Structure 1
Amino acid sequence: MDTNNLLNHLVTAVLVIDTELRPSYANAAAAQLLGIGNNKLLEQPLPELYQLMGVEPQLLRDAIRAGQGITVNTAALITLDGQHHTVDITLMPLESETNSSILELRQVDQQRRIHQQLNMDAQQQAAQFLVRNLAHEIKNPLGGLRGAAQLLSRELTSPDLKEFTSLIIEQADRLRNLVDRLLGPQRPTQHTEHNIHQVVQKVLKLVEMALPSNIHLKRDYDPSIPDTQMDPDQMQQAVLNIVQNAIQALEPAGGDILIRTRTQHQVTIGTQRYKLVLALSIIDNGPGIPSELVDTLFYPMVTGRDEGSGLGLSIAHNIARLHGGRIDCVSAPGHTEFIITLPLQ
């Protein structure tokens, strides 16, 4: 059995470090957690590979020299790219080699994220079921109201009275469009292979035509990402909804929007684990999302703006779900990040 291949299939980050905290081995999960390529990861001491970790480097050095083990639960970890994680840290002496130990970093925020995703999916499906039933109940009398207004308009000769029937028809059409948006896509469509960067570029080309001068779009693509199965029109809509939200959040003071693509290994979506996934991040440096909205962000009709409909993120979440993926959100003042995660074949 290939031990290296076996370790690369673990979801736990595993590193072998010496008394100088220099890694001599790191599995794929470690590279993914720290956001650093495996070769670069082995070139620097451990403290150079993160911004913050909830255990002092000197404590690790002393334990390795003494051949002792350490366990620290729910420790904070901030990687070089600013990602916040909660990890359980375990250091165990490596008996086959002197002055070397195995360092395990097990993400406990991943389990919490999985639980939150399952809970959110269940609540969102219940909310959408309610909205669909309500929408159908609205559409039937709305169609009758519009038809009656059209018939009445044909019988009227006074332009002043026709103005009222035109207003009824106009508002009925507006409500029907709102109901159609509430319903959104409900079933998986035909998916074909497409490049995610082509999809994103179409969205950015569209928004750049009306982009305020104080907002700048930045791109950070991984060109090695393979094509993936998707409905390109639906995926464009999901990305567009999130980018437009970022633009609206930045409009008063300006700022940057970064579109970043990466691959991740051994990621669980719902109850299924995937060897390789695509992570599309849309990041802005705006004021952040109000804390009271975070838990219900993807529900229909939830919005933090007076003029917002609260449908954009709900539709984006549903599109990701129909593609077998998910959307996560991390937000704090100065950093709001939406991550669309999709399985790669």
Structure 2
Amino acid sequence: MAGLYRIKILLLWAGIFGVADSEFLSSIQIRQTNPKELPANIEDNLHQLYPRCTNLTIDYICSGSGNNFKNLSELEPFTDYNCTGQIKENNDTIKNTTAIHVRVDCDLQIEKVEQNSTNTSINLKWTTTSLNCEKVLPELENLSYDCRCHPEYEQLTVNKQPRGGTCEVSGLTPFTDYTCTVQPTYNNKDVPQPTEVKQKTGVGVPDDVGTLKPSFPEHNVIKVTCPTVKNFFGPKTIHIANLTYGGVIQRSQNNSKKCEFEFKDLSYSTYYVVEVVAFNGHFSSKTVSSKTVSTLYNDKAVIGFLVFFIICVVMVPVFYKIKIYMKKSRSSQ
């Protein structure tokens, strides 16, 4: 026992004066600290235990899924690794440390989101920063982004840049509020932290007006109705009706609530053209819905003539009898 004690004392003195022993190193509990940033660096207490052993170093080799081996400087974010340190003396491996689990999740921040839109698309441009991965951001080839706009999106194009990216979400509905999300992905998997922005698409062209249905409340009145336009895609919802005769507009009416118009005091038995278009304050519908209609005959004049004719028919015999009676009266005198 005394001999073994003397050997340990000698080994301890050897460590103090810069000479390490592999058997002695195997009994040392080397503390290792998990890295929190990239490029990764595992801190240990080896040189605290052997401050004079400047020839001792630890090189780490890490294995991920599929037993792909990487150095610390090659580790990727959002990936699990088991890293083992090779204790070397003058570049010769003499021992391995206990394996340590390593995973660095970059705290990605989507900043300075610039927005631009058309009436059917939204364009976004952003910058990405990270406190714990800032140095490796331009080198992360597997870092990408998804752009998603709700309530709907049909197509998207994402262009990654070293310090951010751009995207275009197309196939959207005009004059509609959207909530768009820039979602970072790594190896095609969502990673923190998505960023939401609100954007409204531009003014579009209103839907076309439906089929016009004319009616005639009076013989010189034209009433026209049609299905109310559903989508105006703009700030205003106006139905505009023009009544034309001989290519010249005679009357115009607006209705913001429904497609219903009435033109009064028109000429009898006359052909007019009624045209209706939807207008949203910026654009009119592409197609103008039109209908050629004719007012009816002058019923009041006809009735007056009939009344006069009836009176004439009834009164002529009376007048004739009166005339005969008066003639006979004169003869009897």
Question: TM exceeds 0.5?
Answer: no
Which protein is richer in strand relative to its size?
Answer: 2
Larger Rg: 2
Which protein is richer in helix relative to its size?
Answer: 1
TM-score normalised to structure 2 length: 0.20
Structure ranking higher on relative contact order (CA contacts 8 Å, 6+ apart): 1
